């Protein structure tokens, strides 16, 4: 599903910063992968590249068999819209839209008509137990609810992969556990998922843990989350 | 571009910050409002001034003889001379481009004593001897009967046409004047018509309303002046230059009356066309000024919209970034920003336009739309064309206001949304 070959990325500032120094990574379909690393290890940059939010300088990135390189803004937008679902640490819901409108937004950009859009969005909200909150605005929702709305938003376009950037970073441990449970369930339906985190407890819930250090992959750890009692381990 | 979803998207962002949207829109509203008011006032003055010169042929020249100023062919300078009927014929025959020539015999009212009577009621009015085509140069409304006609001239009939005021003063509006006999400077005339001037500001030798019009030939006999008269007017045919015609007419008259070819002082020539052209330039100047001031005001409104939108875009960096991450193409972002500014501007513009037109309609109701002597302000409303132009300007300014914010908005990358600050 994801294939990275010798990805290099340098930020050219006053002092050129070589952030990613040759990343090689394969993520097969349906995998649940976490990327761990200290701040500055390049994990956010890697996620940006995976999410086609940023360019890379060298190497090749294949997403669902397609080479993602030197895309125009329009192509990138289309790839993001169709192939990738994003989950952010701070949810990034649009504050003046209701939960339903937020979930429906990616479909709006696909040109899906209003009725179908709202029906689909409602289905996803229902799936995450938010049916009664559909007409509420983000500031009327709890952190866990917000993250569930944003998961619904990420899934509504039926993407190939879900990229989650510290999805539990703004949540307490109990809610974190709930959200992780949801993500695992989503993964269980066959959607590939990459989670960036710096919390070991979160990483332990994934099958593959990629350790990133100073722009290179230090190690890839195989993990069996089912052996973990995640409610205790999580923090 | 304006389907229901897009409108919703746009409306949400506008309605989210009502006060700011309102203040922003006010600039544009005010610009259009002022433009409409100014245009309407300009039209009011334009109409007012035009009503004052209505009915008068604007391509006419008035020529009166004065004593010669140069000695020539044995004549002393300072010689009095007059134009006569054969001069008129010669001008009509020899000078191409002269449309109508109208000789005028004028008897000014002197010493203010009553000189015109109907029965015992009298008034002080000037007399004017004309031929029928006078009414084509200084047009009048015929209230009763008719104007002087060709038969009156040929037969030198003792008939007269009364100016409106003369009729009201000596006969009275309660009486049909036709067929009555009036006495003017001691001679009786049959009244065949009553006329009223379209305007009271432009006239030849006194307002037509206070004049008794006689056939030229009748007057020449009555005052024993042969075929002479005081002055004449001529109009320029379409496609000819009035100044050239004046020179030709003067040269012809010099030749016919033994006046030095270089003697300019033997005539007084009054060029109405020149005067009216000046008027036209004045109107044009006012109009240009109005558009400059109006559009200037509007432009400052547009800058206001643009400025506020720039701030808004900056505040919405994260939102726009999220939209980009969710798959909004740059064109969608541009469209949304442009549409926001367009909608805001158009709404404000329509309100300004409607309010401006409404207010001027009320003002127009007070001022009225019939000409009067002392009001130089008439029917101050903007025309359909100007309203359309204003609407188009509103739309263009809406687009203009959106350009900078839209450029700023597409510079926001999806990655900006994710950056935790």
| pLDDT tens per residue, range B368-401 | 666 555 566 777 888 888 888 888 888 888 888 8
Residue of chain A with shortest Cα separation from B411: A73
- Could you give the strand order of the β-sheet that contains A17-27, starting from the edge strand earlier in sequence? A17-27, A2-11, A58-63, A66-67
Say how many CB pairs under 8 Å bridge A and B. Answer: 69
Closest partner CB to A106 (pick from B327, B332, B415): B327
Shortest distance, CA B316 to any CA of chain A (angstroms): 10
Q: Which residues of B touch A74 (CB under 8 A)?
A: 329-331
Structure tokens at A165: 């950037």
Residues β-bridged to residue A221: A209
pLDDT tens digits for B27-50?
Answer: 889 888 998 888 888 888 888 877
pLDDT higher than threshold 80 for residue B178: yes
Q: Which residues of B touch A153 (CB under 8 A)?
A: 326
For tokens 């701070």, name the residue. A90
pLDDT higher than threshold 50 for residue B1: no
Residues of A with CB under 8 A from a CB of B: 44, 48, 51, 53-54, 73-74, 77-78, 80-82, 86, 88-90, 92, 94-97, 105-106, 108-110, 114, 153, 157, 165
Number of neighbours of residue B15 by Cβ within 10 angstroms: 10
pLDDT higher than threshold 60 for residue B181: yes
Q: Where are the alpha helices (DSSP H) in B54-137?
A: 85-94, 134-137
Closest partner CB to B322 (pick from A77, A89, A92): A92
Lowest mean pLDDT among A59-63, A134-138, A202-206, B377-381: B377-381
B7-28: average pLDDT:
81
| Cβ–Cβ below 8 Å for A89 and B420 | yes
Shortest distance, CA A105 to any CA of chain B (angstroms): 8
Question: Which residue in A9, A44, A73, A82 has the most chain B C-beta atoms within 10 A of its own C-beta, making it the best mutation to test that interface?
Answer: A73
Predicted interface score ipTM higher than 0.85:
yes
Per-position b or e across B290-327, b if 16+ CB within 10 A of its CB: bbeebbebbbebbebbbebbeebbeebbbbbbbbbbbb
3-class DSSP string for B21-69: HHHHHHHHHHHHHHHHHHHHHHHHHHHHHHHHHCCECCCEEEEEECCCC
Residue of chain B with shortest Cα separation from A118: B5
Shortest distance, CA B11 to any CA of chain A (angstroms): 11
Q: Whose CA is closest to B266, among B113, B124, B111, B75?
A: B75
CA distance B5 to B3: 6
Shortest distance, CA A176 to any CA of chain B (angstroms): 19
pLDDT tens digits for B256-293?
Answer: 998 988 888 888 888 888 888 888 888 889 889 988 99
Shortest distance, CA A107 to any CA of chain B (angstroms): 9
Residues 6 or more apart from A61 whose CB is under 8 A from it?
A2, A3, A4, A5, A7, A49, A50, A67, A68, A69
pLDDT higher than threshold 50 for residue A233: no
Structure tokens at B85: 């009927």
For tokens 């952190």, name the residue. A143
pLDDT higher than threshold 50 for residue B342: yes
- CA A161 vs. chain centroid, Å, equals 8
* Contact between B89 and B174 (Cβ < 8 Å): no
pLDDT score recorded for residue A29: 92
pLDDT tens digits for B192-227?
Answer: 999 988 776 666 667 888 899 999 999 999 888 888
Number of neighbours of residue B3 by Cβ within 10 angstroms: 9
Q: Whose CA is closest to B213, among B160, B165, B138?
A: B160
| Cβ–Cβ below 8 Å for B326 and A105 | yes
pLDDT tens digits for B113-125?
Answer: 888 888 888 888 8
Q: Which domains, and CATH codes, for chain A?
A: 29-56+72-233 (3.40.50.300)
| Cβ–Cβ below 8 Å for A94 and B332 | no
pLDDT higher than threshold 90 for residue A161: yes
Percent of chain A's residues with pLDDT above 90: 52
Residues 6 or more apart from B374 whose CB is under 8 A from it?
none
- Tell me what the pLDDT averaged over chain B comes to: 85
- Per-residue confidence band for A235, with pLDDT thresholds at 50, 70 and 90: very low
CA dist list (Å): A6 to A1, A23, A32, A61: 16, 5, 22, 9
Residue of chain B with shortest Cα separation from A54: B415
* Contact between B107 and B189 (Cβ < 8 Å): no
pLDDT higher than threshold 60 for residue A78: yes
Structure tokens at B312: 């808004």
Question: Which residue in B7, B322, B326 has the most chain A C-beta atoms within 10 A of its own C-beta, making it the best mutation to test that interface?
Answer: B326
Cα distance between the two ends of chain A: 30
| Cβ–Cβ below 8 Å for B324 and A82 | no
CA distance A166 to A147: 11
CA distance B227 to B86: 8
Helix crossing, B317-325 with B272-315: angle to 10°? 70
* Contact between B316 and B35 (Cβ < 8 Å): no
Backbone angles phi, psi at B410, to 5 degrees: -80, -10
| Cβ–Cβ below 8 Å for B322 and A94 | yes
| Cβ–Cβ below 8 Å for A109 and B413 | no
Closest partner CB to B329 (pick from A73, A82, A94): A73
Q: Where are the alpha helices (DSSP H) in A42-166?
A: 43-50, 73-83, 99-110, 114-127, 143-155
Number of neighbours of residue B130 by Cβ within 10 angstroms: 27
Closest partner CB to A90 (pick from B4, B414, B420): B420
- Per-residue confidence band for A228, with pLDDT thresholds at 50, 70 and 90: low
Q: Burial level of B352, CB count in 10 A (0-12/13-18/19+)?
A: buried
Q: Whose CA is closest to A193, among A172, A179, A214?
A: A179
CA distance A235 to B5: 44
**Structure letter (DSSP) for residue A225:** G
């Amino acid at each position: 599903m994801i294939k990275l070959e010798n990805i290099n990325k340098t930020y050219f500032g006053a002092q050129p910063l070589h952030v990613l120094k040759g990343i090689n990574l394969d993520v097969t379909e349906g995998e649940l992968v976490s990327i761990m690393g200290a701040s500055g290890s390049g994990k956010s940059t890697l996620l940006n590249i995976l999410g086609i939010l940023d360019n890379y300088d060298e190497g090749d990135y294949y997403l669902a068999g397609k080479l993602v390189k030197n895309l125009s803004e329009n192509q990138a937008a289309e790839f993001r819209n169709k192939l990738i679902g994003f989950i952010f640490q701070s949810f990034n819901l649009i504050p003046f839209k209701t939960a339903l409108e937020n979930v429906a937004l990616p479909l709006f950009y696909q040109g899906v008509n209003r009725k179908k859009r709202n029906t689909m969005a409602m289905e996803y909200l229902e799936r995450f137990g938010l049916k009664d909150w559909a007409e509420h605005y983000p500031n009327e929702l709890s952190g866990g609810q917000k993250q569930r709305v944003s998961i619904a938003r990420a899934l509504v376009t039926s993407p190939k992969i879900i990229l989650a950037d510290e999805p539990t970073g703004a949540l307490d441990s109990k809610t974190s556990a709930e959200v992780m449970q949801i993500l695992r369930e989503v993964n269980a339906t066959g959607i590939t998922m990459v989670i960036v985190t710096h919390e070991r407890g979160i990483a332990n819930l994934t099958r593959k843990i990629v350790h990133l250090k100073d722009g290179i992959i230090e190690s890839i750890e195989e993990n069996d989350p089912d052996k973990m009692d995640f409610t205790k381990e999580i923090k | 571009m304006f389907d229901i979803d897009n409108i919703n998207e746009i409306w949400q962002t506008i309605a989210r910050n009502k006060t700011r949207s309102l203040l922003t829109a006010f600039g544009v509203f005010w610009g259009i409002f002022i433009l409409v008011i100014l245009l309407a006032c300009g039209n009011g003055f334009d109409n007012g001034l035009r009503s004052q010169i209505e009915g008068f042929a604007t391509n006419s020249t008035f020529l009166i003889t004065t004593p010669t100023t140069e000695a020539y062919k044995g004549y002393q300078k300072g010689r009095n001379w007059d134009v006569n009927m054969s001069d008129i014929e010669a001008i009509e025959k020899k000078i191409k481009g002269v449309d109508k020539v109208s000789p005028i015999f004028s008897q000014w009212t002197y010493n203010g004593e009553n000189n015109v009577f109907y029965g015992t009621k009298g008034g002080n009015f000037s007399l004017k001897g004309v031929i029928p085509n006078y009414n084509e140069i200084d047009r009048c409304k015929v209230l009763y009967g008719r104007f002087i006609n060709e038969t009156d001239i040929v037969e030198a009939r003792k008939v007269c046409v009364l100016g409106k005021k003369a009729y009201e003063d000596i006969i009275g509006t309660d009486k049909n004047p036709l067929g009555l006999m009036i006495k003017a400077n001691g001679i009786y005339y049959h009244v065949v018509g009553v006329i009223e001037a379209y305007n009271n500001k432009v006239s030849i030798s006194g307002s037509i309303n206070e004049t008794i019009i006689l056939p030229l030939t009748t007057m020449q006999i009555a005052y024993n002046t042969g075929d002479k008269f005081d002055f004449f007017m001529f109009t320029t045919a379409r496609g000819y230059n009035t100044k050239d015609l004046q020179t030709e007419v003067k040269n012809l008259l010099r030749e016919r009356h033994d006046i030095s070819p270089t003697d300019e002082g033997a005539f007084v020539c009054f060029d109405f066309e020149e005067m009216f052209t000046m008027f036209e330039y004045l109107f044009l100047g006012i109009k240009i000024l109005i558009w400059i001031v109006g559009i200037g005001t509007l432009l400052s409104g547009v800058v206001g919209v643009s400025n506020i939108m720039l701030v808004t875009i900056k505040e919405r960096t994260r939102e726009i970034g999220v939209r980009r991450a969710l798959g909004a193409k740059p064109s969608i972002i541009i469209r949304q920003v442009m549409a926001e500014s367009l909608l805001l501007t158009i709404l404000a513009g329509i309100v300004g336009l409607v309010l401006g037109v409404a207010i001027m309609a009320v003002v127009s109701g007070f001022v009225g739309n019939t000409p009067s002597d002392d009001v130089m302000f008439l029917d101050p409303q903007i025309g359909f064309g100007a309203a359309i132009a204003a609407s188009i300007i509103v739309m263009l300014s809406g687009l203009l206001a959106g350009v900078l914010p839209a450029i700023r908005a597409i510079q926001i990358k999806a990655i900006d949304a994710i950056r935790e600050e």
